[in-house]
Structure 1
């Protein structure tokens, strides 16, 4: 696990070297063990290393046999040993034992198709000196980030945006279209980031850059469909594939631990991995702290569990740093506990396993259609769901906006997913966001345009509404929020996070699960939980998803934190973006318990904290925030 950065332009090698050094220094947290640079008359490749595999010989850049190609890579390839044997049989000579070198020789052998053979998480670039071409790719699901920009005659790329800011050709400007969608989605929802001109390479894509031209191509897309598997065969397949994936994700030359919450996903992973160390975290006692339940499971499984309890002072003190590490504003409350959980694990380890991915692959979210506890409503909805598509769509649309019990359940399950579902987070209604924003920030793609571009890829495919929702989350919510915060919060502490439940081979199983075994009257993620039953107690496998519960509501009702947030909302520059009086009124009414606007307040506060860090204070890593007495 590492950080990469680089650029292509015509400046001198001496100038390139100085700039590249600044670009890699700013992301030293991604790779504190070593750094490597390659510079010639056209390109600069930079690298920061966190040593996980081939501790002595895996420094980058790595070159092929005749030094005509060089690679830098951020990530891990779990099938690299198998590929290495194939390439040696084909005549390639290796100089290291690293997984990175496998990609390089694989590119020599198979060209762009090498990405289809990789199992793992990665973002890499290969410089072909003879062709004067840069080739790069991002992994199938977007586990590892890759940003790029073209400014001032320079093509630049990096694992983190803050690295790009160090380049003299970088022009820093706020992308005014990013704010309104963010207020609805809670995360950066556009291909172009909050920094004007900086883009994310999409998950499952590769690119070439040559003679000033960039070409981007998709190489992977989950092929959701249906099968007629019976439940036992399906559960057998899920369990065997999860076991195989967890084993593959433990390949390392250092110790591998695991995060452990009270939920089924991390519990299943930890039960299979049996690491020497697991880690849990929470806030205070009771509802917002899952560490007690995690500790119980660790005791049952005879695992060592380390836990810590957090408080609001820690959260607010470190919050500006959290937004600095994130690069773009993200108001997912779980960023906060994940930041501290990563620091806790990093005291002992360099690598941990986690449970991200299972909710998207196996339908673990209640927003996929679980909006009532009434068996009668569920039975009626199931019967109506057997009607022809036009009829059930009509009933679903009729239920929209109705106020009888079960109306929302009918709408969410019978109306087209394209109309009823935008993903896992909806903070502001977009019209409400528009009213709160100043006119210059209202002009942005509509939510329906953002999700519609993804839904459009499914045209002509016969999928259940539930599988359409999964598909949207795989391409919007997961890379835009879940995986991004997982990468940034762990790498902030030089900790590699591996996600064995988000794996190519497991996706091959998940995409064909019959819809009836995804969500049932018993639970979400039904078939997956049946597989987990074989390894953890039913109390854990059946537990409802909590995520990382964070006491934002309680914080905003405490005067010291309310005053802290209000002091940010009162800043003069805030009026550039928002109707400041309406913003303050919303905060004051929440404090007085006349409304419950905690998620909206937190979303605005996250953006303003990020803007303060990157624009008011020019992107300098902030000190800890002094809290009022």
Structure 2
């Protein structure tokens, strides 16, 4: 979706530029294309159709009988409880609908309930709704940030889009500056993603997850947070544990059932873990012909293909496997970075792109297990407060001494990081699953300016909301605002939509979150397990060989490939060709590459973070790299 709200009632003059900029997001919707404008606003939309295929075209006009076509809507995502909403709106308010889709449910809900309608939506969404009577634009994102929404405002007006690259195309006509944001750059090098609301372009931002904005012609957006995740932890009453496990199972079954609503075929991603296995097992109940998809690598020990295949056989589903080698891994990266809009240095997004590409040959929608770790306590790092308890319980002066001791221990020495982290408070040591460049390394790589910003710029305000909570719940809460929406959901949305495939995430449902948020610490993690309550709840749903399997994440053989000839020479070529000398000390980066290839230290994630940045710079700043982007050619329905 794409829209431009002008400041001078000259929307018609911007219609052609908006139409042209829509081409940058053709992959998000190859089935249909539409535009609409009045004096103040231009809307454009590329549609990927799932529900009410013949109708529900966008931009979509709706209004009550006395004011037909009052609202113009452009909407990316799905509202899974749209049938229930339509029924309630018709029964209680006499709403009349001309389509069978979910878009009109949003417009009617907004008309009758205003911004409170957002609390009634179960789904993933980013939308803009224009009130032609009040002359106001209402923008909103779902609670967790599953769907993106980029914004820019200048004297010429406000533009919004699902893709930043469309706003870059509109930049000349809107007077948008394309300077890079040094703060966002530093955050990226530390976190491996650009945190919301930033982007690497200083004058383009993102509407944050769980927020809405009201925009009037000639005025800046007024942003309001409508969803703040809370964790009202409740102790389990002895003897009622099974009832709570059953509640988790029931709410997840309900969420999967609603996420299966579509007029096209729905498949499921399947790895070797409990989360995707649970989703696939529940989806099979609604689609006996379910197809599942997984990906692996041409290197032993870096694949969950065998476990996923065993699971698929037990579930009785047809299973498709895509294996990825280092040559195609590197060859695909420029296109992948173009689709990303901003760099994300998570190597797992590359195999995700390949498996999405394969899945799109068979289905149009896939379910996946994102969000389970953040909601139910699934990351191994969540057990760190238990392992550090003896250190963090020491007097502050002694802890500071341990920190000083760790600073003089040579890098790579066993126990160095344990001492350093044990000397720090939670707010200082935990800022997500990825910690790429710490201060000393950051200074060696950055060029032209000293590091002026750190992770606390991103995390301090979030931690301030969770004072008094147990440390694991605080880590979960932080991840909802950082790691989940900055990395996990960005790569999930961008890599699937790059292939015109919709990914749905049943764990990230308001009702599932409501149940998960009440779990006490011992029902999430212990010294030897994670996601305790979820595992108990899924005991009769997930096969035994998966139920208590150790979490592997999405292992990518990056360390080995960069150390060998598979990617080592390619990495040197990328570094040498990049025109980022004013930002990055290439000598320091090449030294890290040499050190990594010699086996002295593992720098793979740091090197990869810089490589992705350099490719991004080559595409969006230098305009030197021109990825091959295929025009989508998929059928409307599968």
What is the SS of the residue equivalent to 1:165? helix
Q: Which residue in 2 is equivalent to 1:480? A: 486
The number of residue pairs the alignment matches comes to 608
Matched, 1:154 2:154: no
Matched, 1:127 2:130: yes
**8 A contact 1:5–1:24 mirrored in 2:** no
Alpha-carbon spacing, 1:103–1:367, altered in 2? closer, same or farther (3 Å): same
Shift of residue 152, structure 1, vs aligned partner: 4.4
Matched, 1:109 2:117: no
Matched, 1:349 2:363: yes
Instruction: Name the TM-score, length of structure 2 as normaliser.
Output: 0.91
Q: Which residue in 2 is equivalent to 1:374? A: none
- The whole-number CA distance in structure 2 between the counterparts of 1:113 and 1:575 is 49
Alpha-carbon spacing, 1:394–1:364, altered in 2? closer, same or farther (3 Å): farther
Q: Which residue in 2 is equivalent to 1:421? A: 430
What is the SS of the residue equivalent to 1:164? helix
Alpha-carbon spacing, 1:99–1:396, altered in 2? closer, same or farther (3 Å): farther
Shift of residue 522, structure 1, vs aligned partner: 3.0
Shift of residue 327, structure 1, vs aligned partner: 0.3
Alpha-carbon spacing, 1:410–1:519, altered in 2? closer, same or farther (3 Å): farther
Q: Which residue in 1 is equivalent to 2:374? A: 360
Cα deviation digits, residues 412-449 of structure 1 (max 9, x gap)? 68964212211111011133212311133x35422122
Shift of residue 495, structure 1, vs aligned partner: 0.3
- The whole-number CA distance in structure 1 between the counterparts of 2:477 and 2:535 is 20
Unaligned runs of 5+ in 1: 372-376, 625-629
- The whole-number CA distance in structure 2 between the counterparts of 1:399 and 1:227 is 36
Q: Which residue in 1 is equivalent to 2:220? A: 213
Alpha-carbon spacing, 1:407–1:519, altered in 2? closer, same or farther (3 Å): farther
Matched, 1:229 2:243: no
- The whole-number CA distance in structure 1 between the counterparts of 2:53 and 2:604 is 46
Matched, 1:290 2:316: no
Q: Which residue in 2 is equivalent to 1:627? A: none
Cα deviation digits, residues 15-53 of structure 1 (max 9, x gap)? 222111112121010000001111111100111100001
- The whole-number CA distance in structure 2 between the counterparts of 1:327 and 1:46 is 19
Matched, 1:456 2:464: yes
What is the SS of the residue equivalent to 2:169? coil
Matched, 1:43 2:41: yes
- The whole-number CA distance in structure 2 between the counterparts of 1:12 and 1:514 is 56
**8 A contact 1:261–1:293 mirrored in 2:** yes
Shift of residue 61, structure 1, vs aligned partner: 1.4
Q: Which residue in 2 is equivalent to 1:258? A: 268
2:350 equivalent among 325, 336, 348 = 336
**8 A contact 2:2–2:18 mirrored in 1:** no
- The whole-number CA distance in structure 2 between the counterparts of 1:517 and 1:413 is 24
- The whole-number CA distance in structure 2 between the counterparts of 1:617 and 1:291 is 38
Deviates most, 331-340 or 3-12: 3-12
1:145 equivalent among 125, 145, 148 = 148
**8 A contact 1:180–1:430 mirrored in 2:** no
Q: Which residue in 1 is equivalent to 2:591? A: 585
**8 A contact 1:399–1:407 mirrored in 2:** no
- The whole-number CA distance in structure 2 between the counterparts of 1:622 and 1:224 is 45
Cα deviation digits, residues 433-467 of structure 1 (max 9, x gap)? 12311133x354221222112112224xx310111
**8 A contact 2:402–2:423 mirrored in 1:** no
Deviates most, 531-540 or 599-608: 531-540
- The whole-number CA distance in structure 2 between the counterparts of 1:594 and 1:556 is 13
Deviates most, 218-227 or 477-486: 218-227
Q: Which residue in 1 is equivalent to 2:440? A: 431
**8 A contact 1:226–1:512 mirrored in 2:** yes
- The whole-number CA distance in structure 1 between the counterparts of 2:536 and 2:269 is 21
Q: Which residue in 2 is equivalent to 1:27? A: 25
Q: Which residue in 1 is equivalent to 2:600? A: 594
Shift of residue 321, structure 1, vs aligned partner: 0.5
Shift of residue 278, structure 1, vs aligned partner: 0.3
What is the SS of the residue equivalent to 1:74? strand
- The whole-number CA distance in structure 2 between the counterparts of 1:423 and 1:126 is 34
- The whole-number CA distance in structure 2 between the counterparts of 1:398 and 1:513 is 36
- The whole-number CA distance in structure 2 between the counterparts of 1:50 and 1:64 is 20
- The whole-number CA distance in structure 2 between the counterparts of 1:397 and 1:547 is 33
What is the SS of the residue equivalent to 2:182? coil
Deviates most, 575-584 or 348-357: 575-584
Computed over aligned residues only, the root mean square deviation of the Cα atoms, in angstroms, reads 2.4
**8 A contact 1:9–1:43 mirrored in 2:** no
